[in-house]
Structure formats: structure tokens, C-alpha cells
Amino acid sequence: MRNGDDLEGFDGEASSTSMISGASSPYQPTTEPVSQRRGLGGLRCDLDYLRGTFGRIKLAEVVLALIAFICIETIMECSPCEGLYFFEFVSCSALVVTGVLLLMFSLNLHTRIPQINWNLT
């Protein structure tokens, strides 16, 4: 049975100095160093997505929805306005939804929410 003197300096883990005997030791680090994240809270703009096909299409959708919404808002008067109001709602909704999706994909926020099937979205 061991007494307290035998366990002095023992805190439940192996000492790193006694186990590492050189470059051929099996106790070498096995993980890669963690790279420092740039940006605000780890957010960074994914320029590869914006330069790709889907990024360009989504950016064009946002611009066209913005142009459509601005054009609708310039109309001063109309006689039957139901179609105008519907188009205004659709263009505003398209601008908001597509803008949010563009931000999600261009800032890589979709990787932080794995519960959503982003390919389907």
C-alpha cells in the first residue's frame, strides 16, 4: 500500500517531463493547433461563396427585389390597387428573405445551425 509520500506531486495525470523522452516518443501532440479567428466574434465574409454561382444569383435576387420595391413605392395613385399591394408585399418579402439568406451564407452562419437542412433551404 502506498503512503502519502509516494503520491506527492501526483494529481491524477502523467507528468509531461517524465513521459516525453524525445522525438520518437509516442506521446507527441496529435491535434492541429487552433487557428485564430478573424472578424467580429468569429464572423468572416466568405468571398468564395459570393464569387460562386449561387452567391451571384442570390446577390442579383436581392438587387432586383430592391429595385422592384423602389419602383412600386414611386407610384402615387392607382384606381384598383389590389395588384399593386400584392406586388409590394411580394417584392418586400423577397428582399427580406433573400437578404437574410445571403447574409447567412456569406458570413458562414449556416454552419452554426446544423438543425436546418440548408441544401433544401
pLDDT in tens, 86-96: 999 999 999 99
Band (pLDDT 50/70/90 cuts) for residue 113 is: confident
pLDDT at 48: 87
**pLDDT number for residue 29:** 67
DSSP classification of residue 1: -
Q: Does the pLDDT value for residue 30 go beyond 80?
A: no
Cβ atoms of 108 and 46 closer than 8 Å: yes
pLDDT of the residue at 13: 53
Burial degree of 53 (CB within 10 A; 0-12, 13-18, 19+): exposed
Q: CA nearest 72: which of 93, 100, 103?
A: 93
Q: Average pLDDT in the 49-67 region?
A: 92
